[in-house]
Structure 1
Amino acid sequence: MKKILTAVVMAACALTATSHAQPTDPKLEWATRLVALQQGPDLDSLVEQLAGSATQDLIGGWESRLESAPKAKQAKATEDLNAELAKFAADANKIIAGKVAQASKDALVPAYMERFTLDELKQLTAFFESPAVKKYKAATPELVNVFVKKLVETSKTDIQARAKQFNETAEKIVGPAPAVKPAKK
């Protein structure tokens, strides 16, 4: 009886060890690896945009209420709300950034697995691991700055002219700005 019991226990242990040692889905491994390679500054920008959007939603909801507050309280209320908005924005950024890994696992990994074969996942991974792509990703923030600087430079005159036109039209709609009293000496 003892021999049979020992054999049953050993068989159960072997079955448990075998079930833990089974290889995982290679597509899952490669899709997970590919998603991890794509994390970086672009994702950080997306997180900031999402947090900024949430902050703008709050601002939109409170802006009219702030304007309806007594004039004597508006300056202090604006200052206090701005401080709270800054805290909210920082917290929203942390919350969203903290959800990136789970969202990637739940959404991106299965999406890659559905859309790409194992061979394609391996090719994409090799592409993102290549030295040229790594160099490209490292240079991207600087390249974006070069582009934005040139874009601002080349559009500045036209934007200033359009702003002047807007101000002239707005003055006709709203009326001229109140005259500024000269400073006393």
Structure 2
Amino acid sequence: MKKFLTALAIAVVACGTTTAHAQATDPKTELAKKVVALQQGPELDRLVGQLAGVSTQELIAKWGPKMEASVPKAKQPKVSEDLNAELKKYTDDASQLIGKQVSKVSTESLVPAYAERFTLEELQQLAAFFESPAVKKYQATAPELGNVFVQKLVEASRPDVLARIKQFDDAAVKIIGTSPAPGAGKPPAKK
């Protein structure tokens, strides 16, 4: 009887291991993991940077006016320099903290979503697409091309936006009854 129980226990453990192994290597889930990993390139790094940048801008909006209100004008350049150094550290740290979550969030949310929404054949097609040399080249050059586009868009729209700013200023003068303070709305002069 003892041999039977031992054999049964071994069989149960072996069966459980086989089942767990089969679940862990589900071809559809594995292919979904591959597709998610393949599509994460420079654009994802840029997204992480943008997310960190948003929180940095929130800090600037919070602390900029406090600095101007609380720090004497003569000390503002030094305080601004110190704050900018801290903001740089914060942005780098925030990028790393967000970046560390990418793999976990991808595994927990994207992989199951891909496995649920796509068939095995569709996932194979997606993997082949993301592995193609053209897509790899696209992923590598997309940030640069995006920067070129944004730069050209800013240049092309600048005259119209500046004209609209003047319209707003003219309307604000009529509403408030005074012109904006000299230098208002312009970046500080470099020293």
1:113 aligned onto 2:115:
yes
Q: State the Cα deviation string for residues 70-118 of structure 1 (Å, max 9, x = none).
A: 4154333222211111110110011111111111111111221222122
Q: State the Cα deviation string for residues 22-43 of structure 1 (Å, max 9, x = none).
A: 2522221111000000111100
Report the equivalent of 2:188. none
Q: Write the mapping of 1:19-168 to structure 2, written as runs, cut at 5 A.
A: 19-22=19-22, 24-71=25-72, 72-148=74-150, 150-152=152-154, 154-155=156-157
Q: State the Cα deviation string for residues 8-55 of structure 1 (Å, max 9, x = none).
A: 454355335434542522221111000000111100110000000011
Secondary structure in 2 aligned to 1:174? coil
Secondary structure in 2 aligned to 1:68? helix
Distance across 2 between alignment mates of 1:152 and 1:14: 64
1:173 aligned onto 2:173:
no
State the TM-score, normalized to the length of structure 1.
Answer: 0.76
1:14 aligned onto 2:20:
no
Distance across 2 between alignment mates of 1:149 and 1:77: 31
Structure 2 portions without partners, runs of 5+: 184-191
Report the equivalent of 1:180. none
Distance across 2 between alignment mates of 1:86 and 1:156: 28
Distance across 1 between alignment mates of 2:17 and 2:115: 28
Distance 1:5 1:76, change over 3 A: same
In structure 2, give the amino acid aligned to 1:110: P
Distance across 2 between alignment mates of 1:176 and 1:62: 22
State the TM-score, normalized to the length of structure 2.
Answer: 0.74
Q: Which moved more, 1:112-121 or 1:134-143?
A: 134-143
Q: Which moved more, 1:12-21 or 1:128-137?
A: 12-21
Q: Which moved more, 1:13-22 or 1:24-33?
A: 13-22
Identical amino acids, percent of aligned pairs: 56
Distance 1:117 1:57, change over 3 A: same
Structure 1 portions without partners, runs of 5+: 178-185
Distance 1:159 1:20, change over 3 A: closer
Q: CA deviation at 1:2?
A: 6.3
Distance across 1 between alignment mates of 2:181 and 2:151: 35
**Residue correspondences, number:** 177
Rg larger in structure:
1
Distance across 1 between alignment mates of 2:181 and 2:101: 49
Secondary structure in 2 aligned to 1:125? helix
